[in-house]
Structure 1
Amino acid sequence: PVQQIDQGTLRARLIQDGQVIEWATAPKAARPETKPNGIVMDDGDGDYRGEWLESSRMPSFIGGSYRHDDHREQGAKSVRFTPDLPELGLYEVRLIYVPTNNRARNVPVIVHTADGDREVSVNQREPMLDKGVPRALGRFRFEKGRSGFVEVSNAGADGYVVVDGVQFVPAALADEERSGKRASGFAASPGEAGGDLRKAMAAAVAVSPLTPEQPGNVTAPPSDEPVALAKDASPADVTGKRYDLVVVGGTAGGVACAVRAARDGCRVLLVQHNR
């Protein structure tokens, strides 16, 4: 019976046969240092209500980490960013976040402006950058100083609410960024750059004879964010798409490999060949 197999003997035999016993930790993805324009506030500059978790599981756009609400206690958590604006004027306001498929599609945001409060809903599953420039909450008039603010909440959120920072860009400067006359200063997202790094990440979690050998056995730390795998997909959903890792076989090992790769920032396609 399987229960009577000596685990030590089995482990030694598997190692002798060159099998993968423990996955090496994938290298952490990182973006080049960002130099965005305007007034930029990192996640640590906010005033938080409720318990928010700091994470660096995915590469952040500002600083070395971001924060999320752990998808718990909807309506009990919020964060307010209050900038010190140098002059009265029209500013483009941007919520900086790290997107992935477990994020909320309906993050409620209140922008307190010189003309009153404006409510905006943000889909954090969409890429944060649009042609290299962060998506905007809108353009609003603000007084000089600290009278305005941006408040992000998790009320009614249908996924994880993530905050990496907030950016206030004078409208004229934002026009130059969106017309391509000035760089936004934000490094590209993992899907747009860092090909060699992403290949290394995929190889580190792939269980395959073609995977480069890695010295020693390193146990990966547990993830602090679950991964939402799509239940099903049609051929049209995947045709023409690029993936860092394709796992064929919906076995326990295949699913574990796919989840591990997704947690480390790879784009993964899991194929069940029996369907």
Structure 2
Amino acid sequence: NRVKLPVEPAHLTAIQQHQAELKSLEAELKDAEQKLKSIQNQSSESLVGTVVDDADATKTGHWKASTLFKSFVGVGYVHDDNRNKGDAAIRFATRLSQSGQYEVRVSFSDGSTRASNVPVTVETSAGEQSVVLNQQKATIAPTWRSLGSFAFSDQSDAAVTLSNTGTSGYVIADAVQFILQSDEPASPTAAEVDQAASRASLAAAQEVVKQRKLRIKEHKAAAPAKAPEAMAPADRPSNEIADSPIHIRGETRNLGPIASRGFLQVCSSGNATIRQPIGSGRLELADWLTDPDNPIVARVFVNRVWMHLMGQGIVRTVDNFGAQGERPTHPRLLDALATRFVRNGWQLKPLIRDIVTSAAYQRSSDFSSEALAIDPENRMLWRMHRRRLPAESIRDTMLMAAGELDRRPRQEQMAGRGTLVSSNNADSKATFAGVGEPCRSLYLPTVRGYMPPMMTMLDVADPDMLVGRRPTTNVPAQALVLINSPEIHHWADTTATKILDSATGFDSRLQNTFLRCLQRDPKTSDRTIAEDFFAGQENSKQAWREYIAALFASTEFRILD
């Protein structure tokens, strides 16, 4: 479930106001569409002259009925589905009540995908006449186009036949209209006046709908930022929650006895059943976990924070506080930190402040042979553990050196990734920029089955597993990845450009390189090596790029002293 996270009151007010205005605009659009539909659904009897609908026409070959485009006569229209060219024809025929000259009109839903060369045969009193109909544009609103004036007799059928022979595009057949032409100009009849008014009303209604949709589109484009959300469980209504049966061997239909809601029996000193659970029981579970009489949760949390800051946990097996795990090196320290953590309301910042301001944290990683002889595993913390940076920190540091790191948070890392991640559809065309995206590694999309090789080689956590403490390796393959990765080549090239632009002298550029990449000034030995490397190439961008790439792959860059 998506759960709304807290937002600023002003932001929430803006979101609510925008949603209310959008709801009002959508109601106006719905009303306009209903009015348009009432005008469009006019019956053929309201049209002047004689109208023959597609439902009364004689069809040959494949014709597909449709109501997708709403401007039509009767209950719908038919089309040839843009296939089987030369096999489909439709004949509109009627016996007119009076001989004379008639204007013939054809109704169809126009568009750019329609055929522009529809062959039409008109059966007149003088014989058959052929006409070519362009269905890409209706010239008489809303859906009509005139074929011209033809003579018909009341002693034989007046017929119009549309075919898809030789056409390119969809052939649409909706209705045919025969309008008697007078020899002398005459005032329009009441029906003709009504039809003209109907066309004007239809055009006006279509414009209103168009403007309403445009306003909604503009309003959505100006929407305030979405309220942040998190994927989190949510309880059903209390009357829908009940104790669940045991599923024997995990099978959904092989049910055992009902198991009452409760805590883990192996972690409880007495009865682990929740007597009167409120809802699902998750609230009672949270209260039980954070109860001052149950210190295990606070100890585990404090131990993990200590591990991330100090390199090793007070209990080194951070995922195992049981009988098979290691004993704490400083049990009283662990209890004191856990107790203070709970008393401070489970706030993380005071805990971190206590640790980083301690003498143990501020010790250097300098080596001492005397101390090593007494405590070879550094369990008494006589020096700071020398440890490698995690994969995310190494990548972010290279981005920082290149000046490309985007510190802005991302709320929807998977937005725009297509159905590959939203629906697990292998046919998706979604692509991933991988580690090349300039955001912090924290916001890189994590997709099961796809992890960037650079991050994997640097021991990034496996997304399919719970990893309390990552393995830390230093193997030759890591240096190979750091030297040959195309993304690292790009960052090194960008950094080289900035170094060349930052100063003109070799010494100044070298100093800027060490400050940018290693946060220190170059030593005498560093200068000697650099002078040998850059001999005659002090202004070469390629040489600076290779030198910076070597620094990125160096032990000093990856190890936190």
TM-score bracket, shorter-length normalisation? 0.5 to 0.7
Match in the other structure for 1:161: 171
Partner amino acid, structure 1, of 2:106 = L
Distance across 1 between alignment mates of 2:110 and 2:116: 10
Bigger relative contact order, structure 1 or 2 (CA pairs below 8 A, ≥6 apart): 1
1:206–1:162 CA distance, 2 compared to 1 (3 A): farther
Distance across 2 between alignment mates of 1:172 and 1:252: 65
> Cα distance, 1:133 vs. partner?
9.6
Partner amino acid, structure 2, of 1:98 = S
> Cα distance, 1:141 vs. partner?
1.2
> Cα distance, 1:204 vs. partner?
6.7
> Cα distance, 1:128 vs. partner?
3.8
Distance across 2 between alignment mates of 1:252 and 1:205: 23
Match in the other structure for 1:59: 70
Asked if residue 118 in structure 1 is aligned to residue 129 in structure 2, the reply is yes
Comparing both structures, which one devotes a greater share of its residues to helix?
2
Structure of larger gyration radius:
2
- Checking the alignment, whether the CA contact within 8 Å between 2:54 and 2:77 is kept in structure 1 is yes
Deviates more, 1:165-174 or 1:194-203: 194-203
Residue among 28, 49, 57 paired with 1:38: 49
1:178–1:161 CA distance, 2 compared to 1 (3 A): farther
- Checking the alignment, whether the CA contact within 8 Å between 1:81 and 1:151 is kept in structure 2 is yes
Distance across 1 between alignment mates of 2:163 and 2:184: 26
1:190–1:99 CA distance, 2 compared to 1 (3 A): farther
- Checking the alignment, whether the CA contact within 8 Å between 2:125 and 2:156 is kept in structure 1 is no
- Checking the alignment, whether the CA contact within 8 Å between 1:133 and 1:177 is kept in structure 2 is no
Q: C-alpha offsets along residues 173-213 of structure 1, whole Å, 9 cap, x if unaligned? A: 9966999x9437164389932133233445677892457xx
Distance across 1 between alignment mates of 2:76 and 2:128: 29
Distance across 1 between alignment mates of 2:160 and 2:52: 11
Match in the other structure for 1:196: 208
Partner amino acid, structure 1, of 2:123 = H
Q: How does 1:62-73 map to 2 (within 5 A)?
A: 62-73=73-84
- Checking the alignment, whether the CA contact within 8 Å between 1:60 and 1:66 is kept in structure 2 is no
1:49–1:106 CA distance, 2 compared to 1 (3 A): same
- Checking the alignment, whether the CA contact within 8 Å between 2:51 and 2:176 is kept in structure 1 is yes
> Cα distance, 1:104 vs. partner?
0.8
Q: How does 1:1-275 map to 2 (within 5 A)?
A: 30=37, 32=39, 33=42, 35-129=46-140, 134-172=144-182, 182-183=192-193, 185=195, 187-188=198-199, 192-194=203-205, 195-202=207-214, 208-210=220-222
1:191–1:113 CA distance, 2 compared to 1 (3 A): same
Query: Identity rate of aligned residues, in percent?
Result: 29
Q: Residue 208 of structure 1 aligns to a residue in which SS? A: helix
Distance across 2 between alignment mates of 1:51 and 1:174: 43
Distance across 2 between alignment mates of 1:110 and 1:174: 28
Distance across 2 between alignment mates of 1:146 and 1:90: 14
1:90–1:73 CA distance, 2 compared to 1 (3 A): same
Partner amino acid, structure 2, of 1:198 = K
TM-score norm. by structure 1 comes to 0.59
Comparing both structures, which one devotes a greater share of its residues to strand?
1
Partner amino acid, structure 1, of 2:86 = G
> Cα distance, 1:87 vs. partner?
1.8
Deviates more, 1:33-42 or 1:168-177: 168-177
Distance across 2 between alignment mates of 1:67 and 1:174: 37
Partner amino acid, structure 2, of 1:30 = K
Distance across 2 between alignment mates of 1:177 and 1:54: 38
Deviates more, 1:143-152 or 1:202-211: 202-211
Distance across 1 between alignment mates of 2:75 and 2:178: 20
Partner amino acid, structure 1, of 2:108 = Y
Distance across 2 between alignment mates of 1:52 and 1:45: 14
> Cα distance, 1:50 vs. partner?
1.4
> Cα distance, 1:105 vs. partner?
0.6
Distance across 1 between alignment mates of 2:73 and 2:171: 16
- Checking the alignment, whether the CA contact within 8 Å between 1:51 and 1:77 is kept in structure 2 is yes
Q: C-alpha offsets along residues 54-97 of structure 1, whole Å, 9 cap, x if unaligned? A: 21111224123111111111110010011121022111111111
Distance across 1 between alignment mates of 2:176 and 2:137: 17
TM-score norm. by structure 2 comes to 0.31
How many residue pairs align between the two structures?
Answer: 200
Distance across 2 between alignment mates of 1:252 and 1:173: 67
